[in-house]
């Protein structure tokens, strides 16, 4: 079971999204718990005001520290240990699948959503453990990024998806893009499902899919492919049938292994289809 507490000015907009589809069913089953907290409810201002003009001048308004801190403290005061607090911010580390897997190890996350021109820096210094961004662009508030983060992490919680295979072969999980998917009909507008997928030969299907993952990543995300290649050269060579040949001969009571074959991957461009 994993728990998310979200501090936001717009809890209704998040609640509507997070009660649908896979995430909604996971909540119903008790696999994940998501609570939204309206920061305005913790304002000491009689008009529930949560923002003010920035010191030093400038455009827009800044969220004041008191309501944010009190909303956060309302959650953590009864926790046996302090949960990790994440601030959704364009200044944070960009969300990746590897980051989602790391955050999945947390039992409890508090997610803070900013708005306007941001949040008073002093409260961020007081309560935030990590800043996370979903890309190099700016949005109106942190609610959309928070929902992306919750969705990404929740899919990794045991039982949320039907099996581990549901996410382990998806794009980015293994450092590669996912292979192409096909369903009925067997032919659509002259385009046929690759014969290998209807052959029933599961080993060959798995090999074909892995080659497709390599080719897709190389074509669409060369940066990702280079990272994968640097860590899995032998696995790529094996997939293309280019592993060096091994010649073994006994000599003086032991075995010498001489390797011959390719020395790099720059020439690998075989079409797996």
Q: In what order do the strands lie in the sheet with 130-133?
A: 32-38, 2-8, 108-113, 84-94, 130-133
CA 137, CA 207: separation in Å to the nearest integer?
Answer: 38
For residue 69, the model assigns a pLDDT of 98
Choices 3.90.1150.10, 1.10.630.10, 1.10.1270.20, 3.40.33.10: CATH for 169-273: 1.10.1270.20
For residue 174, the model assigns a pLDDT of 84
For residue 246, the model assigns a pLDDT of 65
The pair of structure tokens assigned to 204 is 């060959």
Per-residue burial over 227-239, b if 16 or more Cβ lie within 10 Å, else e, is: ebbeebeeebbeb
Report which DSSP code applies to 70: H
Total-model pTM: 0.81
For residue 258, the model assigns a pLDDT of 44
CA 9, CA 71: separation in Å to the nearest integer?
Answer: 11
CA 25, CA 67: separation in Å to the nearest integer?
Answer: 32
Q: Does domain 2-154 fall into CATH 3.40.1280.10? A: yes
**Same fold flag, 2-154 and 169-273:** no
- Sequence-separated (6 or more) residues with CB below 8 Å from residue 177: 171, 213, 216, 217, 220, 221, 224
pLDDT one digit per residue (tens) for the chain, 273 residues: 999 999 999 999 999 899 999 999 999 999 999 999 999 999 999 999 999 999 999 999 999 999 999 999 999 999 999 999 999 999 999 999 999 999 999 999 999 999 999 999 999 999 999 999 999 999 999 999 999 999 999 999 999 998 665 555 555 668 899 999 999 999 999 999 999 999 999 999 999 999 999 999 999 999 999 999 999 999 999 999 998 866 444 544 444 444 444 444 544 544 554
Looking at the chain, which runs of residues are DSSP E strands? 2-8, 32-38, 51-52, 62-63, 84-94, 108-113, 130-133, 187-188, 191-192, 245-251, 254-260
Show me where the domains of the chain are located. Answer: 2-154, 169-273
Please name every residue paired with 108 in a beta bridge, in sequence order, or none if there are none. Answer: 3
Please name every residue paired with 9 in a beta bridge, in sequence order, or none if there are none. Answer: none
The pair of structure tokens assigned to 257 is 């292994």
For residue 264, the model assigns a pLDDT of 44
For residue 83, what is the enclosing H or E element?
A: none
For residue 162, the model assigns a pLDDT of 81
């Amino acid at each position: 079971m994993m728990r998310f507490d979200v501090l936001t000015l717009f809890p209704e907009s998040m609640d509507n999204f997070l009660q649908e589809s896979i995430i909604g069913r996971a909540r119903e089953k008790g696999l994940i718990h998501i609570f939204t907290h309206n920061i305005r409810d913790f304002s000491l201002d009689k008009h529930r005001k949560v923002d003010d003009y920035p010191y030093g001048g400038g455009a827009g308004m800044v969220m004041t520290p008191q309501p944010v801190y009190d909303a956060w403290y309302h959650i953590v005061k009864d926790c046996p240990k302090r949960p990790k607090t994440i601030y959704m911010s364009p200044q944070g580390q960009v969300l990746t699948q590897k980051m989602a897997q790391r955050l999945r190890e947390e039992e409890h996350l508090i997610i803070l959503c900013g708005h306007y021109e941001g949040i008073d820096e002093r409260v961020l210094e007081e309560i935030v453990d990590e800043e996370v961004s979903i890309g190099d662009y700016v949005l109106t508030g942190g609610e959309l990024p928070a929902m992306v983060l919750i969705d990404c992490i929740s899919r990794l919680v045991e039982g949320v998806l039907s099996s581990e295979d549901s996410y382990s072969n998806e794009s980015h999980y293994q450092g590669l893009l996912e292979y192409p998917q096909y369903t009925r009909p067997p032919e659509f507008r002259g385009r046929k499902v690759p014969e290998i997928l209807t052959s029933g030969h599961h080993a060959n299907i798995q090999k074909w899919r892995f080659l497709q993952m390599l080719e897709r990543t190389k074509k669409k995300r060369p940066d990702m492919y280079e990272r994968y290649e640097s860590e899995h050269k032998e696995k790529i060579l094996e997939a293309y049938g280019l592993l060096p040949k091994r010649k073994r001969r006994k000599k003086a009571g032991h075995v010498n292994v001489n390797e011959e074959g390719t020395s790099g991957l720059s020439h690998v461009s075989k079409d797996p289809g």
